[in-house]
A and B are shown apart, each in its own frame.
Chain A
Amino acid sequence: MDITAFVSLTIYKFRKILFNKRVLAALLVGVLVTGVMAYASTLDVVFRDGAILLDVLIISFFLPVVTMFYGSSVIRDEIEDMSITMVITSPMRRWAAYLSYYTALLLSLLLLLFMILTAGFLAFFIPLGLDSNALELYLNMLLLVSIGCVVYSALFLLASVVLERSIYFGLFYAFIWEGFIGSIPGRISEFALKHYIRSIGAGRMELMEFAAASGMTYSFQVLTVVTVVLLAVGIFIFRYKEFPG
């Protein structure tokens, strides 16, 4: 029963996230990234500049911001308009429902961010010439975006269950914490998730400059543990949560 319910809820939520006015924000981000990358390709640039631009624009900035924008509202909106009633009062177990929300969020974010990344990548590298190095960079960036989506989705989904004003936490986290703390030189930046995402990138690509990078395996382990802990805490809180309306 949980599998049928899981699939039904995931598909429904996936559609709801994508076919929503909010998707315009992701389209705007896509247009912005494509414009910047296209303009950059007309300047006096080399191949490495493309990697740096994708790192700065997508990995360091839009990845946490876009996941925050969608993730911090995915369950909170349903709690506020009480449409969550249908899920809570169904026989679907709550942990399965939580994972279903997570899966729907993750899939939609992967789709949106892959589209943004691909558009930006093509806008820069088509004028410079697509070769095997470019393809390798593209695949590595897809990997980093995927890892980022996995961990940030878990974080912002938890925030959307715990906090009534989860968007404020999301804004603080995406802009102040990841943007500021994550950019401070030295060990302080290790408190930001993007440090580990970029460390994996630096480990896989010489093109990605990151002097303070941690080890790739260690970074992967940290992000895995953080994701699992965030999901476990989210499931626990969601399972025992009351919905008074």
Chain B
Amino acid sequence: MKSSVIKAQLLSKWYGEVIGLNSFNMDAGPGITGIVGPNGAGKSTLFKLIIGMIKPSKGSLDVLGMDPWLNKKLSSKIGFCPDYDNLPDDATGFEFLRLSGGLHGMSGTGLNSRIKEVSRTVGIDYALERKIGGYSKGMRQRIKIAGALLHDPELLLLDEPLSGADPRARRSLIDVIISLNRDSGHDILVSSHVLFEVERMTKDVVLIYKGRAVASGDIYGIRELMDEHPHNIIIEGKGMVELGKRLLELEHTVSVSFDGSKERLRVEVKRPDEFFDNVPEMLLESGGELREMYSQDDNLAAVFRYLVGR
């Protein structure tokens, strides 16, 4: 029988009249658990409750067997990578990690060697002497994860760690997250508004919508629902006309349209993971140049509406 890493029962959080989380229930065991929901669903509120930045209005929350509110003993067992950018642009990656380690009571050569180890693990060791202000989005996510990992926490909280990263960085970050669990044994709670990205990391998911857990458990059942609702993907770059023509030939493409300009495609697909696997090759063939590619959460909202019966 699995033991609970995070257990929430009828957990609610209100900000004045705004509901952040509403009678939320979850029971996450060891390993990687995905929290999936559209923007504004309550994912970040849940993370802030788990790390003890905010206090529950109602209900109970148990993290590693402890109440997180004002619990500093628990803080040393959790590493938190928030969804917002809280990095000091004027500091180097090394200085940032020195501060992170210092706040966890680490110092001296022990801290320096741990910084080297962790930065290698997340793939940011080559840029530690550079100012964070010059980092790409993917690098910023990596340094945040490194900061959260430095004190070797039992539980890692990664709130939208793939947000804003380009496709290659996303894939690489997913590999890092998987290895943090598989090779280093960290239990991980990771959130995303893109289901198929979470699917690449874990099969255990909790779907959150309007502050409630609307479904939890094995991802495959949820995936089937997902495939019934086309997925919106935006692609920006050069050669989009030719790429659009080729995309239309794919079986899982539902529709292709230009979104405001001829350098911005909106594609509706049924199987996003297959779609993402196909795009690089098609771009090469069509001679196109990719600037940005990201999925929107409209389809996820459709699944949630279905799940809550609206």
Contacts and interface: CB of A to CB of B under 8 A. Distances in A.
B15 interface: yes
Nearest to A88: B53
A192 to B, nearest CB: 36
Interface in B66-88: 70, 72-73, 75-76, 78, 80, 82, 84, 86-88
Contact of B103 (A5, A16, A240): A5
A7 B111 CA distance: 15
A194 B54 CA distance: 38
Contacts of A129: none
B241 to A, nearest CB: 41
A89 B82 CA distance: 11
A2 B73 CA distance: 12
Contacts of A239: 70
A84 B20 CA distance: 21
B106 A4 contact: yes
A90 B88 contact: no
Interface in A26-85: 81-85
Given A5-B102, A5-B105, A7-B102, A89 B86 contact: no
A5 B104 contact: yes
A245 interface: yes
A83 B102 CA distance: 15
B48 A1 contact: no
A86 B72 contact: no
B75 A89 contact: yes
A214 B73 CA distance: 48
B102 to A, nearest CB: 3
Contacts of B195: none
B31 interface: no
A90 B76 CA distance: 7
A91 B73 contact: yes
Interface string B38-60: 00000011001001111100000
Nearest to A243: B53
Given A89-B80, A90-B104, A83 B53 contact: no
Contact of A19 (B90, B107, B147): B90
Interface string B93-114: 0010011111111110000000
Contacts of B107: 4, 8
Contact of A243 (B48, B72, B76, B88): B48
Contact of B99 (A2, A86, A88): A86
B100 A86 contact: yes
Contacts of B101: 8
Contacts of A134: none
A92 B88 contact: no
B54 A242 contact: yes
Interface in A190-245: 239-240, 242-245
Contacts of B106: 4
B103 A8 contact: yes
Contact of B53 (A16, A240, A244): A244
B84 A1 contact: no
A94 B51 CA distance: 14
B31 to A, nearest CB: 22
Contact of A83 (B54, B88, B98): B88
Contacts of B55: 242
Contacts of A245: 44, 48, 53, 84
Contacts of A84: 86
Contacts of A144: none
Interface of B: 15, 20, 44-45, 48, 51-55, 70, 72-73, 75-76, 78, 80, 82, 84, 86-88, 90, 95, 98-107, 147
Interface of A: 1-2, 4-5, 7-9, 12, 16, 19, 81-94, 239-240, 242-245
Given A1-B76, A83-B86, A245-B44, 10 more contacts: A1-B105, A5-B102, A16-B90, A89-B51, A90-B103, A91-B73, A93-B72, A94-B70, A243-B54, A244-B45
